[in-house]
Amino acid sequence: MDGVAAARAGRNYEDDGDERSLILAAQGDPAAFGMLYTRYLDRIYSFLRVRTTSEEDAADLTQQVFTQALAALPRYKLGEAPFSAWLFRIAHNLASNYYRQRRTTLSWNLLLEKMHPADYRAPDEGVLLQEELTLLRGLTAGLASEKQELLALRFSAGLTSREISHVVNKSEASVQKQLTRILNDLRASYKERN
Amino acid sequence: MRREVDVRREYADILGENPDPDLVRIVGALDAANSSRRAPAHVVAAVSALARKQPAHAFAAKADEHPPLQAAPQTLGDGRSGMFGLSRRLTLGGGLLAAVASVVLLIMASLYLLGRDDSGGVQEPIIIESDALMIASTAEERVAGADAIILGTVGEAYDSRWTTPSGKASDVYAASANGHIIYTDYPVKVDRVLHGSDVGETVRVRLTGGQVGEVGMMSSAEAELEPGQRVLLLLRHDDNPQTRDIGPKHYGINFASNGVYKVEGDTATSPSHTIRLTELPAFITKAEKQAAAAGPAGTPVPGKPVAGTAVVVGTVVAREPVVAGTAAVGPVGTRTFVLEPARQFGIVVGRRLKVVDLERGGVGEKSGVRIGDVLTEIDGTPLDPTLSFPGLRTVFHRATRRAVGRGAPAVLTVTRGVALIRIDIMPEIPRFRPEQPTPTAVPRDQLYI
Over chain B, what HEC string results? CCCHHHHHHHCHHHHCCCCCHHHHHHHHHHHHHHCCCCCCHHHHHHHHHHHCCCCHHHHCCHHHHCCCCCCCCEEECCCCECCCCCECCEEECHHHHCCCCCEECCCEEEEEECCECCCCCCECCEEEEEECCEEECCHHHHHHCCCEEEEEEECCCCCCEECCCCCCCCCHHHHHHCCCCEEEEEEEEEEEEEECCCCCCEEEEEEECEEECCEEEEECCCCCCCCCCEEEEEEEECCCCCCCCCCCCCEEECCHHHHEEEEECCEEEECCEEEEHHHHHHHHHHHHHHHHHHCCCCCCCCCCCECCEEEEECCCCCCCCCCCCCCCCCCCCCCCEEEECCCCCCEEECHHHEEEEECCCCHHHHHCCCCCCEEEEECCEECCCCCCHHHHHHHHHHHHHHHHHHCCCEEEEEEECCEEEEEEECCCCCECCCCCCCCCCCCCCCEEC
CA distance B113 to chain A (A): 6
Of B20, B44, B61, the CB nearest to A41: B44
Does A62 lie at the interface with B, CB-CB under 8 angstroms? yes
Chains A–B, number of C-beta pairs less than 8 Å apart: 202
Q: CA torsion A59→A62→A66→A69, rounded to 10°?
A: 150
* Residue in B15, B114, B118 to test binding to A, most A beta-carbons within 10 Å: B114
What does the pLDDT read at residue B80? 26
Of B71-80, B181-190, B240-249, B260-269, least confident by mean pLDDT is: B71-80
Which of A136, A146, A160 is opposite residue B118, by nearest beta carbon?
A146
Which one of A148, A149, A187, A193 would you mutate to disrupt binding with B, by most B Cβ within 10 Å of its Cβ? A187
* pLDDT over 90 (residue B417): no
Q: What's the confidence (pLDDT) of residue B107?
A: 24
CB contacts under 8 A, A 99-158 vs B, are 102-109, 111-116, 118-122, 125-128, 130, 132-134, 136, 138, 140-148, 151-152, 154-156, 158
The chain A residue lying nearest B172, using CA atoms, is: A138
Residue of A9, A10, A72 lying closest to A36 (CA atoms): A72
Question: Does the pLDDT at position B94 exceed 50?
Answer: no
Q: Which residue of B has its CA nearest to A123?
A: B1
Cα dihedral A124→A127→A130→A131 (10° resolution)? 130
B384: phi then psi, degrees, rounded to nearest 5? -75, 120
Residue B345 pLDDT: 86
Cβ-defined contact of A31 to B51 (cutoff 8 Å): yes
What is the pLDDT, as a whole number, of residue B188?
Answer: 96
pLDDT above 90 covers a percentage of chain A that reads 8
- Alpha-carbon distance of A108 to B128, in angstroms, equals 10
Asked if A53 has any chain B CB less than 8 Å from its own CB, the reply is: yes
Distances (CA, A) of B250 to A154, A194, B302: 50, 40, 17
pLDDT, one tens digit per residue, over B269-281 is: 987 789 999 999 9
Residue B30: list chain A partners with CB under 8 A.
140, 151, 155
pLDDT > 90 in chain B, percent: 19
What's the order of all strands across the beta sheet hosting B410-416? B381-382, B374-378, B410-416, B419-425
Can you say how many angstroms the Cα of residue A139 is from the centroid of all Cα atoms in its chain? 19
Q: Give the separation between CA B173 and CA A129, rounded to whole angstroms.
A: 17
- Whole-number mean pLDDT of chain B? 65
Q: What is the rounded average pLDDT of the residues B332-359?
A: 64
DSSP secondary structure, A100-117, as one string: HHH---EEHHHHHHHTSG
- On whether the CB atoms of residues B207 and B240 are closer than 8 A, the answer is no
Cα–Cα distance for residue pair A183/A192, rounded to 1 Å: 14
A11 touches chain B (CB under 8 A): no
Would you say B229 and B155 are in contact if contact means Cβ atoms under 8 Å apart? no
Cα–Cα dist A103/A98, whole Å: 8
Q: With contact defined as beta carbons under 8 Å apart, do B258 and B273 qualify?
A: yes
A80-132 pLDDT, tens digit each: 788 889 999 999 888 887 766 654 333 333 333 333 222 323 333 333 444 55
DSSP state of A2: -
Q: Alpha-carbon distance B389 to A28, whole Å?
A: 47
Contact B113 A152 (CB under 8 A): no
Give the relative orientation of helices A161-168 and A83-102 as an angle to the nearest 10 degrees. Answer: 50
Inform me whether the pLDDT recorded for B342 exceeds 50. no
Could you tell me if A103 and A77 are in contact, meaning their C-beta atoms sit under 8 angstroms apart? no
CB nearest B33 (choices: A45, A59, A115): A115
Distance from CA of A15 to the nearest CA of B (A): 18
Percent share of chain B, pLDDT over 70: 55
Is the pLDDT assigned to residue B202 strictly greater than 90? yes
pLDDT band at B431 (very low <50, low <70, confident <90, very high): very low
Kindly compute the dihedral angle of the four CA atoms of residues B79, B182, B332, B85, in this order, to the nearest 10 degrees: 10
B26, B42, B85: residue with CB nearest A187 = B26
Judged by CB atoms closer than 8 Å, whether chains meet at B53 and A30 is answered as: yes
Rounded Cα distance, B55 and B234, in Å: 51
Q: Which among B37, B381, B394 is the nearest to A45, CB-wise?
A: B37
Of the candidates B305, B330, B332, B310, the residue with the CA atom closest to the CA atom of residue B321? B310
Q: How far apart are CA A25 and CA A32, in angstroms?
A: 6
Q: What pLDDT is recorded for position B155?
A: 93
Domains in chain A: boundaries:
3-193
What is the structure's pLDDT at A111? 33
Q: Which of A8, A33, A143 is nearest residue B115 as measured by Cβ atoms? A: A143
The verdict on a CB contact (< 8 Å) between B112 and A104 is yes
**Do residues B330 and B337 lie in contact, with contact meaning Cβ atoms separated by under 8 Å?**
yes
- What are the C-alpha distances in Å from B247 to residues B165, B167, B331? 10, 11, 18
Under 8 Å between Cβ of B234 and B205:
no
Q: Is A171 on the interface with B (CB under 8 A)?
A: no
Residue A119 with chain B: CB contacts under 8 Å: 36, 386-388
Would you place residue B47 in the very low, low, confident or very high pLDDT band (cuts 50, 70, 90)?
Answer: low
The beta-carbon neighbor of B37 closest among A49, A120, A125 is: A49
DSSP for A119-177 reads G-S-TTTTPPPHHHHHHHHHHHHTS-HHHHHHHIIIIIS---HHHHHHHHTS-HHHHHH
CA-based nearest residue in chain B for residue A130: B319
* pLDDT at residue number B446: 76
Q: Is A59 within 8 Å of chain B by CB?
A: yes
Q: Find out whether B212 and B168 touch, Cβ atoms under 8 Å.
A: yes
A3-193 — its CATH code?
Answer: 1.10.1740.10
pLDDT for res A133 = 59
Cβ–Cβ < 8 Å for B101, B147: no
Contacts of B385 (CB under 8 A, 6+ apart): B352, B353, B374
Residues with Cβ within 8 Å of B143's Cβ and at least 6 positions away in sequence, in order, are B149, B234, B283, B284, B287, B288
Q: How far is the C-alpha of A184 from the C-alpha of B226, rounded, in Å?
A: 45
B117: nearest CA partner in chain A: A144
**A chain contacts of residue B44, beta-carbon cutoff 8 Å:** 41
How close, in Å, is residue B140 to chain A by CA atoms? 36
Instruction: Determine, for residues A126 and B25 on separate chains, whether the beta-carbon distance falls below 8 Å.
Output: yes
pLDDT in tens, B113-158: 222 333 333 333 444 544 444 455 678 878 888 899 999 999 998 9
- B443 versus B9: the higher-pLDDT residue is B9
Bridge partners, residue B135, by sequence: B103
Handedness of CA B368, B373, B375, B376 (dihedral sign): negative
Q: Is the pLDDT of residue B175 over 70?
A: no
Q: Is the dihedral of CA B8, B13, B19, B25 positive or negative?
A: negative
Query: How much is the average pLDDT of A159-186?
Result: 89
Residue B56 neighbours by CB distance under 10 Å = 9
Q: What is the Cα–Cα distance from B75 to B257, expressed in whole angstroms?
A: 12
- B42 pLDDT tier (thresholds 50, 70, 90): low
- Kindly tell me if the per-residue pLDDT of A151 is higher than 80: yes
pLDDT at B276: 94
Q: For residue A77, what is the DSSP state?
A: -
**For residue A67, how many other CB atoms are within 10 A of its CB?**
16
